[in-house]
Structure 1
Amino acid sequence: MNRLCKIVVALALGCWSGPALAETLQGTLYKAQACECCETHAEYLEKNGFDLKIEPVKDLVDMSRREGVPPGFQGCHLIRLNGYVFEGHITSEIIKRFLSEQPKDMVGLSIPGMPSGVPGMEGPKDGPIKVYAIKKDGTTTTYAEQ
């Protein structure tokens, strides 16, 4: 293939793949009615390519259980996004990496509780924070650290 053809092919591929790469990720963030840090996390995610509708719910723990999040792995909010759930203050990079992998045996990811030093929860960070993968069978494994 001559050089001009390679350039044309590269430009054409760039035109087709550009919008897909720049696509905003749309989902819903469900939060406990009184919690305010969830909205700060949503703002952080929106600055990083997410479009989240925020909905307060009366019983977030029950909702998390129905979504397949095992006891002890709930955070202060749950995000439904592309068929997965993301519990707690997970970084945009980790969520995007997980979504790009599209694991078939997973419910989603979780950072249990409300640790400090994560996006939306200002304060000191006491070392790496584990992000857990939640499998459809209810088991969990460490997916990443942030």
Structure 2
Amino acid sequence: MPLNPARRRWVGALGAAAALAATGVALVPARAARKPVVEVWKSATCGCCHEWVAHLEKHGFQVKTHDVDAPGDYREKFGLPQKYGSCHTAKVEGYVLEGHVPAREIERLLRERPQALGLAVPGMPVGSPGMEVGSRKDPYDVLLVARDGRASVYQSYR
């Protein structure tokens, strides 16, 4: 029995969906899959900053980078105390991100929406996103920084 044109399109679409599913491509509406833009201020020559940006993009974030001479100036401009400093500063939906913050914690921040200035990974701990060195992973904390400059541990990586 021949298929009518509407049913033929439906069967074709079902076949295409099955083929995509077999390749591991997620069938999610584009709007649901989009994450916010993370705007990053970094040095043009910093390799680990480039790797952190790649980590965010791999996890679905859109990233807009600004190569600047003094990334720390942006940390100060956004009100983050120097003691939480690292090699790059970013902003996402009103929050400040300092250093090699894992995408997982950024996603959590945006889901939970705490009253805070943002997240920081002070220094440049080996094993944090963008700071991978073989299998070495030094312990570090992701800090939730309050607007008054105090911080608490948001997530520990051991």
Selected match of 2:118 from 86, 108, 115 = 108
Selected match of 1:22 from 30, 33, 51 = 33
* Secondary structure of residue in 1 paired with 2:117: strand
Write the letter of the residue equivalent to 1:137.
Answer: D
Q: Are 1:51 and 2:62 matched, yes or no? A: yes
Structure 2: unaligned runs, 5 residues or longer: 1-27
Bigger Rg over Cα: 2
C-alpha distance 112-22 of structure 1, shift in aligned 2 (>3 A): same
Count the aligned residue pairs: 128
TM-score (norm 1): 0.80
* Secondary structure of residue in 2 paired with 1:72: helix
Deviation at 1:24, TM superposition (A): 2.3
Structure 1: unaligned runs, 5 residues or longer: 1-16
Write the letter of the residue equivalent to 2:122.
Answer: P
1:74 paired residue number? 85
- Show structure 1 runs of 4+ deviating over 3 A: 17-21
2:16 paired residue number? none
TM-score (norm 2): 0.75
Measured in 2, the distance between the counterparts of 1:111 and 1:24 equals 21
Q: Are 1:88 and 2:86 matched, yes or no? A: no
Cα RMSD of the aligned pairs, angstroms, is: 1.7
Q: Kindly indicate whether the alpha-carbon contact (under 8 Å) linking 2:52 and 2:129 is maintained by their aligned counterparts in 1.
A: yes
* Secondary structure of residue in 2 paired with 1:114: coil
